Amino acid sequence: MQAQVWLEELHVWLSAVDWEAVAAWPWWGTVGVGLGGVAVGAAVGWRSARKARVDLGAEEVLTALERVVRQDYGGALRVLESATVTVDAPPELYLAMASLLRSMGHAERSAQLHRALTQRPDLDKVLATRAVIGLAGDFLTLGRSQEAEELLGQLPRKIRRQDALLALRRNAAIRAGDWKEALSAGGLLAKRTNDNGDGVSEIYGRMASAALARGDDSQAVRDFKRALSASKANVHASEGLARIYVSQQKFSRARSLLERALEHNGDIAPRLLPLLRASSPNRQRYQRYLEKLAERGAASPWVELEQAELAYEAEDFDEAADILTELSQRFPRSLDVREAYLNLLIAIADERTIFAEVDRFVAVVKDELTRFRCRSCGYTAPHTFVACPRCDAQGSVQYV
């Protein structure tokens, strides 16, 4: 009886969820898919209890849900697979299975299930829509962006204009290079979510990158400027436009862009500082700028490492040693700081001191530290990035 009450309460909650919007969530291929899929299974369990069906009872639903919560996707999938052996297994179970398969990295198998559901002539319209959206998500995961965009374009206008589906449409169009559709969906999404222009800015930034790839610098400049006009916090656009300006020897414009980008995200400093140095023919002015950053504690330890490198190049080894010694105390597990300190010692210290530092450096390396993390999805990497290699979020890097 308690299980029946729990399932009925869960059904009330699930009934309030906009499942088309949930299915279009950009992170549909990760943990959210698994949780959403088994939640669908829970709804099926409620309906089964109401109709006295035996294909998936409350105990199996709770078991599958518990396994997904502790990230045992394989166990949850086995529960759902065992429930689909009956001839009249409901389509919701197959949707749940497809969701779990994709969360486990089996997008091909997920696509097979979604495609089979879309071909059912008597399938409920809501379930058919969810199957189409799921198949589009599979195609995006598999890199088949054009097919994903075509599927989404066939959905009814009312559904295509839902907020979460707008995000999926925008992402599909970006990957397919359909900039008109990307701007259309991105513009609608920006108005509804009040994202301060970040979405449209990202699209223009990607358009600029595409223009650079085909060698059209003039178009890239225009699109980068549009991206920054929509959102001045677009680090990707600031860096891209600054690189063009440096190549054109428009150093003042490049510095302005790079300094503003550093204000928005100091963790991108190891990527931007070399470019900022290249755009600063006046070395003393550049050093004064670094001093201001260091006084504010901004972009550490990268600013201090840059100062140490400048001191080393000027053969001011005492100054470089003071900076790196202080950094070693503040960042004892930093590979970058340890590497810079070791390089300095190799140039100025005796062998005993060098070998002692080598031992400490090796100890840090053995820990296999990941130094950068994406604020959006949690992806970690040894090197900094402008766009996350996993979720493609821009300007999301954080130094660990």
Average pLDDT of the residues in 74-101: 74
Report the share of the chain in percent with pLDDT over 70.
78
Helix/strand/coil for 380: strand
Report the share of the chain in percent with pLDDT over 90.
18
Q: Tell me the residue type at 53.
A: R
Instruction: Report the pLDDT value the prediction gives residue 1, as an integer from 0 to 100.
Output: 36
Cβ pair 352, 364 in contact under 8 A: no
Q: How many whole angstroms separate alpha carbon 361 and alpha carbon 141?
A: 39
Q: How many whole angstroms separate alpha carbon 383 and alpha carbon 380?
A: 9
Task: State the DSSP string of 120-145.
Answer: -TT--HHHHHHHHHHHHHHHHHTT-H
Instruction: Report the pLDDT value the prediction gives residue 366, as an integer from 0 to 100.
Output: 61
Average pLDDT of the residues in 206-222: 90
Task: State the DSSP string of 41-86.
Answer: HHHHHHHHHHTT--SS-HHHHHHHHHHHHTT-HHHHHHHHHHHT-S
Given phi > 0 = left and psi -120 to 50 = alpha, else beta, which region is 53? beta
Strand order across the beta sheet in which 372-374 lies:
380-381, 372-374, 397-399
Helix/strand/coil for 1: coil
Whether residue 41 is predicted with pLDDT greater than 50 in this model: the reply is no
Whether residue 352 is predicted with pLDDT greater than 50 in this model: the reply is yes
Q: How many whole angstroms separate alpha carbon 190 and alpha carbon 184?
A: 10
The model's confidence at residue 30, banded by pLDDT at 50, 70 and 90, is: very low
Average pLDDT of the residues in 382-400: 85
Q: How many whole angstroms separate alpha carbon 100 and alpha carbon 291?
A: 52
The model's confidence at residue 58, banded by pLDDT at 50, 70 and 90, is: very low
Q: Which of 78, 81, 147, 162 is nearest to 111 (CA)?
A: 147
Average pLDDT of the residues in 186-190: 76
Whether residue 13 is predicted with pLDDT greater than 50 in this model: the reply is no
Q: How many whole angstroms separate alpha carbon 139 and alpha carbon 176?
A: 11
Instruction: Report the pLDDT value the prediction gives residue 256, as an integer from 0 to 100.
Output: 93
Task: State the DSSP string of 247-301.
Answer: HTT-HHHHHHHHHHHHHH-GGGHHHHHHHHHHT---HHHHHHHHHHHHHHTTTTT
Which range, of 81-95, 110-124, 171-185, averages the lowest pLDDT? 81-95
Between 361 and 8, name the one with better pLDDT. 361
Opening angle at CA 187, ends 186 and 191, nearest 5: 115
The model's confidence at residue 369, banded by pLDDT at 50, 70 and 90, is: low
> Which residues fall within 8 angstroms of residue 31, CB to CB, at 6 or more apart?
71, 103
Report helix angle 107-118 to 125-141, nearest 10.
150
Opening angle at CA 18, ends 13 and 22, nearest 5: 105
Burial class of residue 342, CB neighbours in 10 A (0-12, 13-18, 19+): middle
The model's confidence at residue 149, banded by pLDDT at 50, 70 and 90, is: confident
Whether residue 160 is predicted with pLDDT greater than 80 in this model: the reply is no
Task: State the distance between the two ends of the chain, measured CA to CA, in whole angstroms.
Answer: 49
The model's confidence at residue 393, banded by pLDDT at 50, 70 and 90, is: confident
The model's confidence at residue 171, banded by pLDDT at 50, 70 and 90, is: confident
Mean pLDDT of the chain: 77
Most trustworthy range by pLDDT among 287-291, 332-336, 381-385:
287-291
Q: How many whole angstroms separate alpha carbon 384 and alpha carbon 371?
A: 8
List pLDDT tens digits, range 240-297. Answer: 999 999 999 999 999 999 999 988 888 889 999 999 999 998 888 999 999 988 888 8
